[in-house]
Structure 1
């Protein structure tokens, strides 16, 4: 990482970078990915998995004895691949390159070979492992699935801006129809090393940095990272990385059409016995309206709408990492979402002890900073 950028002109955060802060991008990345493609999971109970997926708003593109391909309504490809396995686990993420030449360039850079994907998906892939141990697949040239009928955003009246007359607003209480995969959030014990890996190799850009309270001098501990599409706007974050005591999946987010779809879809999930983790609210970093749910295996998944879009001219914001700073409005972040509830405490304690014994970026001062997050 060699490039530094000074100043803060875009105004999406109250604080910009200071001299010597971690750069938001790499000067000469190997390639520049253009989007996140899909997530991969292993689960033993595909019937239960598909039932939740339908209630959450996915469409089943492929259903076999040993796997599921789940998609949204947007044209493209399945955004979640589930294969039958002996235990439940997150199995990695795929990012879409600009073309097959980029996949080959990346493979050559890592001294490995690209391979053809199964015919049901099509295209070329190179399989990598990031520094935190997460499988990362970079892909291009897949078959394009046609757009499906989605939920149309509602027309709203805003004071004198009248767009709806002689018609009532009656959003149905049905599953929100997922449009697409928006982003993935993961935790890493080697946060900075892992962040630099994505910036240097996949050409991604940081939209916002967070730092532990009272530890700005030690640099960031979370970053919201977007794709560099030049002057074409991209999601505020496609990937978010956070420093923590374990390398693990935190949550993934899927876009729906509007607030009514998100809220009515949440009511549908609640009525069918699923557990809301946190919501409804509006985030600060990314600005999206959010609603978080637990799937039957405990994975955290998010409905979102109205997120920020940045082109590559936007410079990074800097802010303290606090529980109260995660949302502009909405209920306080829950213990379930923050991982401070009783069912998570024992597992978290073991992770912290293990991390402090190993050589990584999660030291005792970082532990104290992380403990402050939940109460600040």
Structure 2
């Protein structure tokens, strides 16, 4: 007999939490941020970083001897700020305050100081430290970059809905023009404490929780978190957070216009010798079309398109975490994407596992067993 079982059945529960499980939002957050503003990195070779950034689809908005600012086509602030440093490292995210007074409120409640940002971006920031020791900026009154021309989605005949007649499709093989920064994914050894901190301080709300199979009663180990803008729909996740053996950056994602842009942009990157980590496919949580790449410094970056948008009324979904549950269709998740490809990164993660098990945090032997099952499930 042919097995008719769909391995994706039940992977995206929309029935919500069981009694006593995490509600996915804070009752009275200090502020509610509007969006992710930018990400900050340090890298030793800005020339190499710029070459990849242009191939990936960014536009350079500022370049000096010691700094590189990258933007998308949408109006707003730069997506990525890179400063010259002795080694490659992620510094932290910056979130855009809904109102300038929110920066003052955060500073007052947390005992931090409001400081001016560099003139290249303008405005002010309050710099906070989350429970994973990451620097988190909340910014306001920044300079607004004007919108740029961008790639337009192709006119597509869908089924019997004909919109293109006597015209061919010949999308150019060029870089996939980045429109905007979508989200960042962070790993933490203190998942619940860090999750609650973001919900309480920044007013973020959870779209989906994932838990290890057989360990739901021990609580979630990953959350996809969005901004709360009331009735205005926002990305399924602006921040995603996952329990792991080390506090680190996992990946960041940048929106492009459509599937053709994403696919042609991938061919453009391959022709220039860059390494695809995983793709092309469509996610389950968030529904995005995705394509993951490694930049020359080893950072994982994603092109995405067609993601889910939720308003504040939708409650969190709950689902088990599995490797097959990462995508509705597409190639299986690679060892590189899962962090288990033999090499320096895998050795570093193994060393982090050994260190984490010796410390007092949420990553214990039960969680390690759950994580090991993910890669083969």
- TM-score by shorter chain over 0.5: yes
Other-structure match for 2:272:
272
Preserved CA contact (<8 Å) 2:40 2:91 = yes
Other-structure match for 2:128:
128
Q: Map 1:1-376; keep pairs closer than 5 Å.
A: 13-343=13-343, 344-376=345-377
Structure 2 CA distance for aligned equivalents of residues 254 and 58 of structure 1: 9
Other-structure match for 1:6:
none
Preserved CA contact (<8 Å) 1:15 1:319 = no
Preserved CA contact (<8 Å) 2:14 2:316 = no
Which runs of 5 or more structure 1 residues have no equivalent in the other structure?
1-10
Other-structure match for 1:8:
none
Range moving further from structure 2, 244-253 or 114-123: 114-123
Structure 2 CA distance for aligned equivalents of residues 19 and 30 of structure 1: 26
The alignment of Structure 1 onto Structure 2 pairs a total of residues equal to: 366
Other-structure match for 2:3:
none
Deviation sequence 1:269-307 (CA, Å, 0-9, x none):
000000000000000000000000000010000000000
Structure 1 CA distance for aligned equivalents of residues 14 and 326 of structure 2: 14
Preserved CA contact (<8 Å) 2:12 2:284 = no
Q: How far is the alpha carbon of 1:115 from its aligned partner? A: 1.0
Q: How far is the alpha carbon of 1:13 from its aligned partner? A: 3.1
Other-structure match for 2:7:
none
Other-structure match for 2:6:
none
Deviation sequence 1:327-351 (CA, Å, 0-9, x none):
0000000000001111133222211
Secondary structure class of the residue paired with 1:55: helix
Structure 1 CA distance for aligned equivalents of residues 175 and 28 of structure 2: 44
Structure 1 CA distance for aligned equivalents of residues 134 and 112 of structure 2: 17
Secondary structure class of the residue paired with 1:342: coil
Q: How far is the alpha carbon of 1:14 from its aligned partner? A: 4.5
Q: How far is the alpha carbon of 1:15 from its aligned partner? A: 4.2
Structure 1 CA distance for aligned equivalents of residues 360 and 12 of structure 2: 36
C-alpha spacing 1:269/1:101, structure 2 compared with 1 (3 Å): same
Q: How far is the alpha carbon of 1:123 from its aligned partner? A: 1.1
Structure 2 CA distance for aligned equivalents of residues 140 and 234 of structure 1: 19
Secondary structure class of the residue paired with 1:52: helix
What is the root-mean-square deviation of aligned Cα atoms in Å?
A: 1.0
TM-score, length of structure 2 as denominator length: 0.96
Deviation sequence 1:189-225 (CA, Å, 0-9, x none):
0000000000001000000000011100101000000
